[in-house]
Amino acid sequence: MLAGAVAVDPEALDRDALHAVAHGVPQPRFAARRQRAAEHLEARPCHDDRGVALELPAILDAARIGRISTLLLVREAARPAGRCEGTEPLDASAAGAPRHDGDVQVLTDDAIPAGAAAAAILRY
């Protein structure tokens, strides 16, 4: 049996219970990836923006050419007014990042620099 795999007979569980059990398996890995991304963003020396895009046009350009290693988005629920105006291009970037072997992580708003709708950790 694989470490961390669901260790119960799935036939013994209803759909919601199976989802809850299965959802818990990758959560520690996801949490570790989110933590590493947030630490990378925070560890920029003197908040040097080389290797990081914080402005929407720069993020969109980087996404278009496959330069995003990790795209960091603010959790929708953390935004006071819900959905921000003009985020559709950002949604497209989030959908496109995995196509270029990038990662997308959703963080709380305090993990992304103030005033930024998102941040991108760039490959080069």
Collapse the DSSP code of 56 into the 3-class scheme (helix H, G, I; strand E, B; otherwise coil) and give the result.
Answer: helix
CATH architecture for segment(s) 12-122: 2-Layer Sandwich (3.30)
Domain ranges of the chain: 12-122
pLDDT in tens, 48-85: 667 888 888 888 889 889 999 999 888 763 444 445 55
The more confident residue out of 91 and 59 is 59
CA 15 from chain center: how many Å? 27
Phi, psi (degrees; rounded to nearest 5) at 52: -140, 135
Band the pLDDT of 22: cuts 50, 70, 90: confident
Q: Is 20 exposed, middle or buried (0-12, 13-18, 19+ CB in 10 A)?
A: exposed
Q: Is this structure's pTM higher than 0.85?
A: no
Q: What is the mean pLDDT of the chain?
A: 78
User: Is pLDDT at 113 greater than 70 in this prediction?
Assistant: yes
pLDDT for the residue numbered 69: 92
